[in-house]
């Protein structure tokens, strides 16, 4: 069955390659990015490359709650509620920056809170349609410990720590979604070490071709066995995340904190 698949951060890197592959399979693809002109160009390029006309682009900067709300409004208007949501957009910040009037550190906002909010807004609409599948792109470098009292606006910013914390949040959120919504399928995954601008920002470069990252996202979106739910995957296999990712108290605390930060 053809699926409607929204891939956040699909104007570059792993997300862009995943969008191409999802389109090649004949699915409806919703691209997302923060640059309308670039997004439209990528949409046209993918349509030409795949001869699949069912490709749309929605714009929304993940440093802004109102832009995320705007994205959902467009999806509703265009009757484009996804079956599969791939929460992929991500950044590695080398410098300290805060966003929104709540002074939220940018890595936490883009990598976790924006996806939390988008999922919060979309999930009820997705549930009306089918069993939603939410794929959260985490990382094997997720943190082994976290201080949720010092994450929104950390007292001593460190880019590597902020990134690892945000990737742990992706796994904690995945596990919480599944605990709260028995009808939802959601897994977190590490896409591999992939040659993208994010890898270059944080680690200077290297890594495998974007196609091997896309393989992992496609597995999470289309091939994952039904019984694999609320799991963390590395290279398409269930893996053990840091112990703290399984701590339901921390999952609940992150959920409460995130709910306090998003608009009501």
Instruction: Cite the active site residues.
Output: 163
Q: Is 24 helix (H, G, I), strand (E, B) or coil?
A: helix
Give the shortest CB-110-to-ligand NAP separation in angstroms.
Answer: 5
| Tokens 């795949």 sit on residue | 50
- Helices and strands (H and E) in the chain: how many: 9, 10
User: What is the contact surface with ligand NAP in residues (CB under 6 A)?
Assistant: 9-15, 33-35, 61-63, 88-91, 110, 137, 139, 190-191, 193-194, 196-199, 207
Q: C-beta of 56: minimal distance to ligand NAP in Å? A: 16
Residue 10 or 50 with smaller CB distance to ligand NAP: 10
Looking at residue 30, the DSSP 8-state letter turns out to be E
CA 105 to chain CA centroid, nearest Å: 17
Minimum CB distance to ligand NAP smaller for 88 or for 186 = 88
Between residues 129 and 206, which has the closer beta carbon with respect to ligand NAP?
206
DSSP one-letter code for 194: B
Nearer to ligand NAP, 25 or 34 (CB): 34
Task: State the nearest-atom distance from the C-beta of 203 to ligand NAP, in Å.
Answer: 8
β partners of residue 7: 31, 86
In sequence order, the β-bridge partners of residue 187 are: 135
If DSSP codes are grouped into helix, strand and coil, which group holds residue 171?
Answer: helix
């Amino acid at each position: 069955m053809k699926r409607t698949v929204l891939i956040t951060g699909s104007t570059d890197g792993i997300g862009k390659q995943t969008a191409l592959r999802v389109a090649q399979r004949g699915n409806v693809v919703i691209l997302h990015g923060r640059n309308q002109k670039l997004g439209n160009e990528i949409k046209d390029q993918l349509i030409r490359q795949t001869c699949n006309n069912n490709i749309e682009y929605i714009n929304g900067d993940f440093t802004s709650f109102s832009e995320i709300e705007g994205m959902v409004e467009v999806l509703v208007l265009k009757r484009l509620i996804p079956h599969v949501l791939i929460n992929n957009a991500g950044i590695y910040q080398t410098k300290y920056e805060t966003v929104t009037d709540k002074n939220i550190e940018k890595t936490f906002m883009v990598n976790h809170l924006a996806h939390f909010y988008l999922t919060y807004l979309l999930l009820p609409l997705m549930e009306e349609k089918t069993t939603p599948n939410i794929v959260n792109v985490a990382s094997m470098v997720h943190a082994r410990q976290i201080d949720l009292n010092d994450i929104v606006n950390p007292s001593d910013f460190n880019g590597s720590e902020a990134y690892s914390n945000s990737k742990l949040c992706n796994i904690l959120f995945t596990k919480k979604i599944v605990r709260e919504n028995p009808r939802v399928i959601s897994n977190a995954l590490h896409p591999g070490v992939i040659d993208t601008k994010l890898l270059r920002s944080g680690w200077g470069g290297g890594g495998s071709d974007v196609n091997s990252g896309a393989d992992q996202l496609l597995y999470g979106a289309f091939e994952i066995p039904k019984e694999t739910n609320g799991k963390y995957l590395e290279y398409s296999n269930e893996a053990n995340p840091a112990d703290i990712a399984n701590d339901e108290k921390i999952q609940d605390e992150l959920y409460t904190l995130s709910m306090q930060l998003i608009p009501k």
